[in-house]
Amino acid sequence: MTSQPLTYTANALDRATLLRGDTAHVQTLLTGGAARIVLMWNLRHLIDDAPRLQTLSFAAIAGAYDPTASTLVFLGLQDNTPWFALGLPNSEAPPALDIPGAFTALDYRALNEVVALLPGEDASILAYARAMILWHHNHRHCGRCGAKTAITESGHSSTCVNPACAHRTFPRTDPVVIALITRGDKQLGEVCLLGRQAAWPPGMYSCIAGFVEPGETLENAVRREAAEETGVIIGESVGDVRYVASQPWPFPASIMLGFQAAATSAAISRNDLELEDCRWFTKDELRAFGERNAAGPGFKLPNRYAIARLLIDGWLVDRF
């Protein structure tokens, strides 16, 4: 059973939203000597051998920081310490930092490669920093008029530089519903519905998930995804789709919204062929599943740090 807080949900920073508009003050926080700066370079972050997130001072990054080519975001405060995220331009050679002992490209690690080893607070700050920088990288031009955009509000908005337009946009997160679908079976007892995509490690099964569409409720997104991917019908009553928990998922810009859903049908039909396989499992069958990275054949669970695992583990101990 999962007892640790869900991965990416332990962000200890005060987002200090009221400071964001005071860019002169935020600039003094950046250069005042106390700032801790989280780097992102080639989609990777500085991680030390512990492994822990390695932050840098402004003095260390000043030479590599070109405001016209870099993405700087004020993340917030931890006690009185200001935190920033700095996205540097992609390049073959690592950025030149002004600190003793040069970092090599190997010191920059992909978040999803190290997340299982990182303390929860570090992973959560990285999820926040990564999502903010990626959003800016993917919104360099105005969606309304096509002109370039400029970073505003200390990184928490982006504004079109065309004065006749001046359209302002805000960092987005894309909602994804993920559901543990259950049913009472006459012969088997309580069973849950898990599926697998062809790209996943052999034997791994997980909960049913998909993006919420505009104009759709979260509950109906669960019902639609279940019908498309598995052919299973979810009940129409209010309590048939119940919210459990959420998890930021910055790959690149999602928030996973976890539900338990009650099925009213059993027959499986992989209508959109997104899943390679889909089955009902009993609790005893699930308890015999191996870990995702376990060697050998057999069924495997999703990663311990994914919300799918929290949903499965919670169901196994009757928490829901």
**Using rule CB under 5 A, residue 145 touches Zn ion:** yes
161 neighbors 147 (Cβ within 8 angstroms): yes
Whose Cβ is closer to Zn ion: residue 73's or residue 160's? 160
Site pattern 290..309 for Zn ion (x: CB under 5 A): --------------------
Residues within window 61-90 making contact with Zn ion, judged by CB under 5 A:
none
Which of the stretches 122-130, 156-164, 179-187, 254-262 binds Zn ion when contact is defined by CB under 5 A? 156-164
Among 13, 16, 110, 165, contact with Zn ion (rule: CB under 5 A): 165
- Strand-pair partners of 191: 183, 282
Among 78, 162, 169, 182, contact with Zn ion (rule: CB under 5 A): 162
Which of the stretches 72-80, 108-116, 147-155, 205-213 binds Zn ion when contact is defined by CB under 5 A? 147-155
Name residue, tokens 């800016």. 136
Which of the stretches 2-10, 101-109, 162-170, 229-237 binds Zn ion when contact is defined by CB under 5 A? 162-170
Whose Cβ is closer to Zn ion: residue 159's or residue 265's? 159
Which of the stretches 56-64, 66-74, 143-151, 180-188 binds Zn ion when contact is defined by CB under 5 A? 143-151
Whose Cβ is closer to Zn ion: residue 116's or residue 145's? 145
Total residues binding Zn ion (CB under 5 A): 8
Minimum distance, C-beta of residue 169 to Zn ion, in the bound complex (Å) = 10
Among left, alpha and beta (phi > 0; psi -120 to 50; other), residue 132 is alpha
Whose Cβ is closer to Zn ion: residue 137's or residue 167's? 167
Site pattern 166..185 for Zn ion (x: CB under 5 A): -x------------------
Minimum distance, C-beta of residue 161 to Zn ion, in the bound complex (Å) = 8
Which of the stretches 17-25, 31-39, 160-168, 199-207 binds Zn ion when contact is defined by CB under 5 A? 160-168
Residues within window 83-142 making contact with Zn ion, judged by CB under 5 A:
142
Whose Cβ is closer to Zn ion: residue 96's or residue 145's? 145
Annotate the chain with DSSP letters as a single string: ---SPPTT-----B--GGGTT-HHHHHHHHHSS--EEEEEBTTBEEB-SSS-BPPB-HHHHTTT--TTT-EEEEEEEETTEEEEEEEPPP-SSPP--SSSS---GGGEE-HHHHTTTS-HHHHHHHHHHHHHHHHHHT--B-TTT--BEEEEGGGTEEEES-TTT--EE----EEEEEEEEEEEETTTEEEEEEEE-TTSPTTB-B-EEEEPPTT--HHHHHHHHHHHHH-PPBP-SGGGEEEEEEEEETTTTEEEEEEEEEBS------SS---SEEEEEEHHHHHTPBPTT-SSSS-BPPPTTSHHHHHHHHHHTT--
**Using rule CB under 5 A, residue 160 touches Zn ion:** yes
Neighbours of 175 (CB within 10 A): 16
**Using rule CB under 5 A, residue 232 touches Zn ion:** no
Whose Cβ is closer to Zn ion: residue 13's or residue 165's? 165
Write out the residues near Zn ion by the rule CB under 5 A.
Answer: 142, 144-145, 147, 160, 162, 165, 167
